[in-house]
A and B are shown apart, each in its own frame.
Chain A
Amino acid sequence: MAILIIAEHNNQHLKSETHKVVQAATAIGAQITLLVAGFSCQAVADEAATINGVSKVLLADNAAYQHQLAENIAALVSELGNDYSHILAAATTNGKNFLPRVAAMLDVAQISDVIAIESADTFVRPIYAGNAIASVQSADRIKVLTVRPAAFRAAETGNSAAIETVSAAHDAGVSTFISEELTKSERPELTAARVVISGGRGMQNGENFALLNGIADKLGAAIGASRAAVDAGFVPNDMQVGQTGKIVAPDLYIAVGISGAIQHLAGMKDSKVIVAINKDAEAPIFQIADYGLVADLFNVLPELEQQL
């Protein structure tokens, strides 16, 4: 048995999701190889080599992999993957994009969004927006899994694994990168933050989201949103927490002006402590909140910022 993990990075830095996938993989109990596929990404490989539990880092440095186009990455991973019993990636938009393609090329199933590893062939994953939890067993020759980062802690660093270069260059030639528009933010990443404060339709408009800034600064929190707030154009979609957005499990989640639809709860109900601030005492969010405050958020938010 041997495990191949595909690292999540932006060609400069390794993302924390990778450390969590490594931690998840240690539960399978086999040698772990980390693949860094990108362009001018030696620094990422160096960083990857420091993760405890990793025995080898493969570096595929080629222009074809610069933007993580699924067609090219999948060709590389499916070629390398034949020598492994498990192939893992984080359940990020990137991992979700290329890994099913890899699985189909290897003619095996994929198990998505794994939240617990019971054994080398048995995995736990949520279905129906997290309203049911399934234990599934795979008899495939290669187990292909995406791992939900929020469900695992990050592996420690301090290791110095060997780095090997992979020369294989795959360019499927059916897709090209045109442009990228990334949201600029000084705050911690939503999926990695210890505290998350989210606004919903109750915020009324995009300007009012500024009321969350001061609180987020004091708590070192990331700012999220419900789908209603995103659809209404208050904030960009990459701030969305829920079944169709990001899944978070911070120590503290503060839901402001969010009613608590099933799809939103799917993205945050594993948070350690949930606080709800809503003027509707009947809002479903109060059924799962540890601390609820029934009040107008426009009065509460300035007061909260002051008292922190």
Chain B
Amino acid sequence: MKILVPVKRVIDYNVKVRVKADQSGVDLANVKMALNPFCEIAVEEAVRLKEAGSATEVVVVSIGPVAAQEQLRTALALGADRALHIETELNLDSLQVAKLLAKVVADEQPGLVILGKQAIDSDNNQTGQMLAALTGMGQGTFASKVQLADGKVQVTREIDGGLQTVALTLPAVVSTDLRLNEPRYASLPNIMKAKKKPLEVKPADSFGISLSSNVSVLKVTAPATRQGGIKVESVAELVDKLKHEAKVI
């Protein structure tokens, strides 16, 4: 069985982002970029399934500028077998990304698609669900455990009140939550080997899909900053302030 893992290049999660003065967006010039943390977990899960003998091939795909190939190489160094880069300079919506991925699914015919539950830049949490809808597959979102057996995948999902387990007919889409696994580090020999693994490039506009979005960003602003607070010296002072100054208890 083949596993397809869509991955995204995003700003590194440790970077404190700055909003541009002209309110057109967030300043991404000279900022450290990385593989989206949830995508890293997705790659790890796919590689583990291959190591366990449940999968034969792990294919990673990324949609974005040429620089996204760095993240594909990272995924290859983590154990993916080959990569597909769908090149575009456009900032696509989840729906357009899902449509492109649906075409890749039609070409590659994976038994399982594993992706991250959300990208930490747009915080949308949509692509996996949309891909499942477009391909008619079942979806196991926010997965904290994935088990393959008898042509089905059993997914334990993190839901608001606890955990829920569902069984999905294959092929299916799974999106990863943080606790699914702990991704490995790429070793130096594996980073070197990853440079020789196949990486195919296709322009996004060769897929015959309209890449224009109906959603436009009017402005991006910094969140309201909080008033600087005070330090109290004792518990008694804290309780007094909460009772009489803030009046919240």
On A, residues with C-beta under 8 Å from B are: 67, 69-71, 74, 92-94, 96-105, 107-113, 122, 126-140, 172-183, 191, 195, 219, 227, 230-231, 236-238, 243-244, 246, 251-252, 262-263, 269, 272-275, 286-294, 300, 303-304, 307-308
Contacts and interface: CB of A to CB of B under 8 A. Distances in A.
B29 interface: no
Contact of A178 (B95, B166, B223): B166
B90 interface: no
Contact of A103 (B14, B130, B138, B233): B130
A125 B222 CA distance: 12
Interface residues of B, number: 82
Given A137-B216, A291-B229, A304-B238, A101 B139 contact: yes
Contacts of B125: 96, 100, 112
B16 A262 contact: yes
A293 B166 CA distance: 45
Interface stretch (B47-55, B106-114, B186-194, B240-248): B240-248
B215 A101 contact: no
Main secondary structure on chain B at its contact with chain A? mixed
Contacts of A138: 214-215
A304 B235 contact: yes
A105 B154 CA distance: 24
A272 B168 CA distance: 42
A139 to B, nearest CB: 4
B141 A70 contact: yes
Interface string B96-129: 0010000000000000000001101111111111
B22 interface: no
Interface of A is mostly: mixed
A291 B139 CA distance: 44
A110 to B, nearest CB: 5
A70 B231 contact: no
B21 interface: no
Select the residue from B118, B137, B167, B223 with max chain A CB neighbours within 10 A: B223
Q: Which of B98, B117, B238 counts the most chain A CB atoms within 10 A? A: B238
B231 A294 contact: yes
Contacts of A103: 95, 126, 130
Nearest to B236: A307
